[in-house]
A and B are shown apart, each in its own frame.
Chain A
Amino acid sequence: MLVLTRKRGEGVAIGPDIRVVVLGIKNGQVRLGVEAPRTIEVHRDEVCVRIQEENQLAARTPVVPLDVFQRLLRRKTA
């Protein structure tokens, strides 16, 4: 991992068109500004990790017990 020390207002450039700037540091929290083309998705990484982990869990479903869904079926006809 590349480690860089930056002050408030300083940034790093990633490739030709992505820039990450340190906007502020307060109470152990760092505010970052990200400038990137609209085609680049920028997310808080914990959200992506949570979805990824949920996908991996969901992919392990062997079969669906149909009886569980009877409740939803009843709703459909209710």
Chain B
Amino acid sequence: MVVASTRFGTLNIPAESLLTFPSGLLGFPEWTRYVILDHDTDAPFKWLHCVEEASLAFVVIDPALFNEQYQVTVSPEARGEVEGSETDELGLAVILTIPSDDPSAVTANLRGPLLMNHRTRLCKQLVLSEDYPTRYPVFSAPRRAAHTLILPLAEAIPA
């Protein structure tokens, strides 16, 4: 499918790469269909781009890249919304806020991470009850080894 983007021009997106957020993202409930745009560069972040609104896009990243201790509890309701079964591989990503006047002050929203079910391609922005900040400084964080972009749930959530 052809997707218009105010940032990247016209994109050709395979339909199978569509992601659906049945509840939308907080503040954007009317937009439910997104794709993740990969870059040619080895940059650690990706764009979560809305396919219904050309100007709506978020920069997302694997939280394990800068905070190994980050763990979230996925409620049964949230798991239900992404139709996660016991064996489903659920992934986590967090949204970055990059101030235009000081890009190095980039922060990650650890309080409202994105839960993704790779099988159903259903996603949900969680509202955590854990006391994580919405503005976690990415670059003052301690050095961490890199993993894949989307953290497997088994690593993210201890039994």
Instruction: Using A39-B77, A54-B109, A59-B56 as known contacts, say yes or no to A72 and B138 having CB atoms under 8 A apart.
Output: yes
Kindly report which residue of chain B lies nearest to residue A68, judged by CB atoms: B103
**A interface residues, how many (CB within 8 angstroms):** 31
> Out of B25, B145, B146, which one reaches A55, CB within 8 Å?
B25
For residue A67, which residue of chain B has the nearest CB?
A: B103
In the complex, are the beta carbons of A61 and B97 less than 8 A apart? yes
Q: Is the interface of A mostly helix, strand, loop or mixed?
A: helix
Residues of chain A with a CB closer than 8 A to B125's CB: 51, 55
> Given the complex, which residues of B lie within 8 Å of A60, measured CB to CB?
100
Contact partner of B42 (CB less than 8 A), chosen from A55, A57, A59, A73, is A73
Residues of chain A having any CB pair with chain B under 8 Å: 38-39, 41, 43, 47-48, 50-66, 68-69, 71-73, 75-76, 78
